[in-house]
Structures are given as C-alpha cells and as structure tokens.
Structure 1
C-alpha cells in the first residue's frame, strides 16, 4: 500500500512539474489590465495610442496585443477623434474594438484627412530633436568642415550673411546645415568616449568652392554663426515620424547621461540621452523602464555607507539610435528622473 501511495505521489509530482511551465507561460502571455480601466472610451483630439493603451493596460508597450495587431497589414490602427472603443474578451484575451465590435483592417468608409488620425505618441515633444540634434564620433567631427570667418572680418554672422568654411564637404550638396558642438558624451561606467552631441543653429547654401575653402550663404539661423561651428549635410532621407512603442528585444542595462533641455532632472515628455545605442540592439520604438538610482545612506549601527536598491521611476521610448548613444522620450514619470538613473528592459 505504501509503495502504491508513493508511486501515485511521484506520478502526481511529475504531472505538476510538466503542467506548471505551461501555466506559467499562459500567465506570462495574459495582458494585465488596470484595476480602474474603463469599459468604453470615446477618442478625443490630443489622444495617442500610448495614452489610450495606458488607460487599459498596466504595460502599455504591449499595446499591439490589446489592439489585435496584424503583422500582415500596414498601419492597421488608424483611430480618429470620435471613435468609440469598447473592451471585449476574444478567445480569453482582452481586445479593444471600434464602434460595432469589428476590428477594421481596411480603409475607413468616411471622409477624413489621414493626418487627423491620432498618433502613437506625442510627436510634438520630439519633432525638433528628430532633425536638430545629431551625435558624431571623434573621426566624424574632425572630418567635418569648420567655419573660419565671415565677410568684413566679422566675428559672428546671421541670416543673409556670407561665411567661409575650411575642409571637404562630407556630401557635395547645395544645401548644408551648420551645427555647434554642445558636449562630449562619456560612458559613466566604462569611461568610454561615446560621441559628441551637436545641435543645428543654421542652414546655408553653398556658393562656391576653391581648394579647401567653401563659401556659404546663410539662409536661416537660430543663433549667431561663429568660428569652429561645423558644416554637415542636410537630411536627404525622410525623417521617421511614426513610432509604435514596443518592448526592447535585447537585454539593456544603461544609464541616462543627459537631459537635453540643459538641466539635471526631467519629467514626462522630456528628452534624454542614454549610453546605449544600435550596437546594443536598440532601435526607434523600443521601450525601457527607468530606475531611480538608489540613495546613499550611512548605517546607524555599523556606520557603513550603503546604497539603497534602485526604484522604478518611469518609462521611456527610444526615438533616435546612434551607434553608442540614443535619444529617448520619457512617456511616464512616477518620480523625478535624473542623470545617472538606470534604464533596463520592461519587466
């Protein structure tokens, strides 16, 4: 009898061991809904897919599952102000459906401009950074032509003035941008040189070239152009302006190295730079969790200096990835976010 019971218990344990991983996988794939999520929602002007997904999901970056994303259809989720969204359960999973409960993956049969569809994220907060900020490594910076002066020996110049640069144009185009080096990025952990940040201060037309002297006529300027500003070609490709946030696939362990509006702390919809880039597998749309660096305290008993664990403080989305540095938009902030805070994959 004891042998029979022991055999039964052993078989039961084996069954449990086989079933548990499957159950764990099912739980892992199930979308976690917000406790106070609405049952229906009417889209209003100013909404984004991220905002709406955050009303329903605890993990907004899993929005493709909520919206029933179809990989074979291009841009399947054109949502417009006035659309009524309803949360329903389909095959045991929560899904957002529009109006009559049918997820429409074909063009809408109503007259409206495509630009009126709500965006995935608030583009107005990053649009300037898409073209006005660039990161160069040391070799690129040294290779770019630099301003040597302007007509009449003026120290600075503005729109309508003529300036001269020395060097070889990286791309022989009739239109060039003028950039000013802002800072050098150094990895806070490895001390590796990551690149130089430059911001756009003007646009110019190439007048003529003689030997290594380039004549430039300034068309637009945001700041006065001066010696050592760099000449770099205008964007030839269309700048990416549609982003669909999703979880980063590769393991990321990085740090915030800059807040681009020039202060040390940041909040929601501010832009920051991190010390990870394309070489770590990052690409536009990747979402990362921000962890506030643990505070340093002195143990009252041992008098040792201890560092408290890092705490979650927000979410960010990569919108521009260079080789070693990326720019990201803070989508959510539950605490003050600062330089040296950690960034990791969403849990």
Structure 2
C-alpha cells in the first residue's frame, strides 16, 4: 500500500493486485455488484437504488474493523476504459467523505493489473480516526483484491463453483408471524432441532451479528458466524456468513415472505455459495469431484433451511388457527 496526503485533510491510498485472467473478466467482476456479497469478503449486502446509463446508486453494508457499516454510493462505469469511479453520498462515521476508482489494466497474455484508489477525509482530522479509516481501507482492500485475483484466475470454472438455489413453502398464516420467527433467531435453539446453540447481538436495529452451532446429518456440530440485515418493511432478511465451513469460500442467503397467487404466502429461502475446490477431497473423500460437492452443499443447506421453513410455517399457521 502507498499512502500520501495532498493537503492537511485529504488522505489517499493505492492498492494493487495482479490476476491471471483477461482484463475484461476482471472488469466484469467489479462492475457487477449483485455478486459482491459473494465475491468480496467484507461486503454483506448491496441494494441497487437506481441506475441510469452507466451511473448507479447503491446502498451497501460491509464489515470494517470488526464493525458493520452502511452507506450509499454513486458509481460511474466506463467499460471501454475498464474503470469504475465511486463516491459515497452518505458516508459512515468517522468518515466525512470517501471515494475512489477501480482500474483494470491489460498486461497481455491473459494477465491483468487491478488497481483500487481511495481518497477520504475525516471530520476534525483526528489522528486516531484517520488511523481507523486507513486500517479499514487497507484490510478490506487487500481482502477484496486478493479474492478477486483468485476468482479471476479460475474464471473458466467459476460458474461451476457457484451454487445458487432456493426452497419455498406455502403458508396460510400472518406474514408478520413468519417474519417474527425468522427475525427472532435468538430463539432458534428452542424452536429448531438442528440448531445446537446461537448467540445474537443487535446493537444497531436491523443489523444482527450471529454465531450459530448447527447439527449435521452425522450428529456433529459445526459453527458459523453471520451478519444479517433485516428489512421488516419488506419482510426480508439477507445474510452473509463471515465464517464458513471448509467446503465453502463464501455463503450468502436471503429469507423472503411474499403474497402467493390464490392466497396465503410463499416463504422462500435462497442460498448462494462459492465452493472451495481445493477442500473437496478432504471434506468429502478422494473420489469426490465438483459435481458431488455441488450436490452435497445443496442437500446439506437445503435440509436445514427446509426444516426452518416447515417450523416457521407451523408457527404462523398455529397463530392463524388460534384466532
């Protein structure tokens, strides 16, 4: 990382990483923010607020120095130059302003250079706040560029490593009751047989930090850590696992409650996973391949989320019957 100051208040950083992939492949990874929660380790959720031509506004949630921060950003995409400029419209404290540029440079022979520039200011320019922001930018930028470089290098097989699926149940009960069940994850150990233990904090309304011990089919318990962002007005909860089982390099998900055609509700659990191909043999045995790993993850995650959906269904419908 290179740091410099152009004046007393504007701080600038430069991070770079090379990738064994064509420049257009790398550019597509940074241009498509819909998969950023899956591809960028610090990123939890991206909501596209509006888009006009090559300009878009985004609401974003990401981890920074162990905290979850949220902000809105405006991005301007330049596919011809392989550049994306961004500027936060409503930064998260202690940042006063922050922006920058993603730049992809073609190095030839399927090799690229990815550069990430930041400039930022901090209210009062207090040394401890500047250090906090610099540390957050450095940690996150290194994680983002490192993972993008790895994903780009395996771009030819990337879609095979991505597993996306969803399961749904029909519910004849109040939507608010379903959402309450999904939101009150702190009660899952008493409500769900596959949840062994769960620790949940919600210091900021709607942003939950969760550590969960889940019983697997063989009776063992594995621990995951997640950040959940709750949207009660939309009856939706999105999450990202920040500590995943060995077979997965990334796992994001979403719970939604929607009106169903003909009455009642459709409650859906959606999973998105990036498999860690190098961990397949150790996790599933010497004969296992990528196709077996895809089936295993689909079955394991679907089993648990399906069980959660069924209990949520009974929870909501029992309330309806009691009326």
TM-score, reference length from structure 1:
0.26
Greater helix proportion: 2
Which protein has the bigger strand share?
2
Structure ID, larger Rg: 1
